[in-house]
């Protein structure tokens, strides 16, 4: 679905153009077109290919999601694939964005649950002096928007971990905490896999594509690199803390189980005294002198109680009961 199609030129306001009018708009070498598409069909992409002269392999990549984050050069245009992650009503949603970029076009193709780029367009159009520098500023604004969403997700996951870490050390210990920790760790792995390649993409744009990224705009792409570095640092720190928390969680579970085993062993030892005594005198032998002794029963009973009491006192003192 075509979301928007606007033509931009220095010192002129943006103007909507139709798909059929793109070729005419691009006759002016200072003009570039920003085309936005969501969940495109093959017919829509073929039309885009025809208007912008895009490579067949790039169109094939753009048609399907599940692309790894990357940047590739096809003739005079670039193809960039990004994975997106954003917070929506407390949930983390993932999607994918494909971008075609050249000095005269920026084509954004959204797959899945990707936030609208309307805020990006408003931001770019409000900075007219930067937008006049060409399509590269729009590309920067898109990358920065995606990276800001990474930061939101990283912050949310860090907050979830902090809350869970406090829960681990409370008296109301929950064995399900280990599952929650693994869920956060899995999300962190996904976030790192999405964010890390963006640093390389920005580096290549700065170093190898001077025709698109002017010297004035390189600082903006370096700023995106800096934001990515902070996101990755946050992810790495939290992942390390998660690993430690999982180990602590397992250790606490082991300690709890050991306490239960100690108590069972202690009570087993206490109960072993009457078990041995009563088993001994429960045997059906005729020659047992104590059976004919008038004090046999009270002595045996008192001895059993005293034996149990001594065992209980010893284990209680040792902290087993």
Read off the pLDDT of each residue in 150-160 and give the average, rounded to a whole number: 94
On whether both 76 and 183 belong to a single domain, the answer is yes
On whether both 185 and 266 belong to a single domain, the answer is no
On whether both 144 and 164 belong to a single domain, the answer is yes
Tell me the CATH number at 293.
Answer: 1.20.58
On whether both 267 and 121 belong to a single domain, the answer is no
Give the C-alpha separation, 4 to 108, whole Å: 10
On whether both 246 and 123 belong to a single domain, the answer is yes
Question: pLDDT digits over 305-317, tens only?
Answer: 777 777 777 767 7
Domain end position, chosen among 227, 253, 279: 253
pLDDT-derived band of residue 284, with 50, 70 and 90 as boundaries? low
What domain count does the chain have? 2
Contact in structure between 228 and 235 (CB atoms under 8 Å): no
pLDDT for 287 beyond 60: yes
Read off the pLDDT of each residue in 299-310 and give the average, rounded to a whole number: 76
Contact in structure between 134 and 215 (CB atoms under 8 Å): no
On whether both 91 and 202 belong to a single domain, the answer is yes
- Report the predicted TM-score, pTM, of the whole model to 2 decimal places: 0.79
Domain holding 51, by residue range, is 2-253
Question: pLDDT digits over 209-221, tens only?
Answer: 988 998 899 999 9
Identify the pLDDT of residue 105. Answer: 92
Question: pLDDT digits over 5-63, tens only?
Answer: 999 998 888 899 988 888 888 888 889 999 999 998 899 999 999 888 888 888 888 88
DSSP E strand stretches across the chain? 2-9, 12-16, 32-38, 70-74, 77-88, 91-102, 105-112
Tokens 């070729």, residue? 23
Give the C-alpha separation, 213 to 219, whole Å: 10
Check residue 20 and report its DSSP letter: G
Identify the pLDDT of residue 34. Answer: 94
Question: pLDDT digits over 160-214, tens only?
Answer: 988 887 777 665 556 677 788 889 999 999 999 999 999 999 999 999 898 899 8
Sign of CA dihedral 32, 38, 44, 46: positive
On whether both 289 and 241 belong to a single domain, the answer is no
Tell me which of 76-90, 214-228, 285-299 is least confident: 285-299
Q: Which two tokens stand for residue 54?
A: 């895009």
More confident residue, 228 or 169: 228
On whether both 173 and 39 belong to a single domain, the answer is yes
On whether both 48 and 192 belong to a single domain, the answer is yes
On whether both 212 and 261 belong to a single domain, the answer is no
Identify the pLDDT of residue 285. Answer: 62
Question: pLDDT digits over 84-142, tens only?
Answer: 999 988 889 999 999 999 999 999 999 988 889 999 999 999 998 899 889 999 999 99
pLDDT-derived band of residue 292, with 50, 70 and 90 as boundaries? low
Give the C-alpha separation, 9 to 15, whole Å: 9
Give the C-alpha separation, 143 to 267, whole Å: 65
Containing 226, the helix (H) or strand (E) segment is helix 215-280
SS3 state of residue 16: strand
pLDDT for 266 beyond 90: no
> What are the CB-based long-range contacts (under 8 Å, 24+) for 126-130?
130/217
Tell me which of 1-5, 57-61, 277-281 is least confident: 277-281
On whether both 149 and 288 belong to a single domain, the answer is no
On whether both 183 and 293 belong to a single domain, the answer is no
Tell me the CATH number at 249.
Answer: 3.30.460.20
Give the C-alpha separation, 293 to 110, whole Å: 96
Identify the pLDDT of residue 244. Answer: 83
CA dihedral 281, 286, 291, 293 (to 10 degrees): -150
């Amino acid at each position: 679905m075509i979301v928007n199609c606007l033509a931009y030129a220095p010192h002129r306001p943006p103007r909507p153009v139709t798909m059929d009018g793109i070729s005419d708009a691009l006759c002016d070498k200072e003009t570039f077109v920003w085309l936005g598409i969501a969940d495109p069909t093959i017919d829509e992409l073929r039309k885009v290919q025809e208007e912008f002269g895009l490579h067949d392999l790039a169109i094939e990549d753009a048609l399907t999601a599940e692309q790894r984050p990357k940047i590739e050069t096809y003739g005079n245009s670039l193809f960039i694939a990004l994975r997106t992650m954003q917070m929506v009503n407390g949930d983390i949603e993932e999607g994918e964005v494909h971008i075609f970029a050249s000095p005269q076009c920026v084509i954004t193709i959204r797959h899945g649950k990707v936030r609208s780029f309307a805020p990006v367009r408003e931001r770019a159009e409000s900075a007219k002096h930067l937008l006049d520098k060409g399509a590269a500023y729009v590309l920067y604004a898109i990358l920065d928007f995606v990276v800001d969403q990474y930061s939101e997700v990283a912050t949310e996951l860090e907050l979830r971990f902090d809350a869970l870490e406090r829960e681990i050390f409370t008296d109301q210990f929950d064995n399900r905490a280990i599952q929650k920790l693994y869920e956060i760790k899995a999300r962190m792995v996904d976030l790192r896999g999405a964010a890390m390649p963006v640093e390389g993409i920005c580096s290549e744009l700065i170093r190898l594509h001077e025709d698109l990224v002017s010297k004035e705009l390189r600082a903006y792409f370096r700023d995106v690199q800096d934001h990515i570095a902070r996101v990755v640092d946050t992810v790495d720190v939290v992942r390390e803390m998660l690993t430690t928390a999982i180990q602590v969680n397992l250790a606490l579970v082991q300690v709890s189980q050991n306490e239960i085993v100690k108590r069972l062993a202690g009570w087993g030892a206490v109960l072993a005294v009457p078990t041995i005594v009563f088993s001994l005198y429960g045997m059906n032998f005729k020659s047992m002198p104590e059976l004919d002794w008038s004090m046999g029963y009270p002595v045996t009973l008192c001895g059993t109680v005293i034996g149990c009491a001594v065992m209980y006192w010893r284990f209680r003192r040792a902290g087993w009961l």
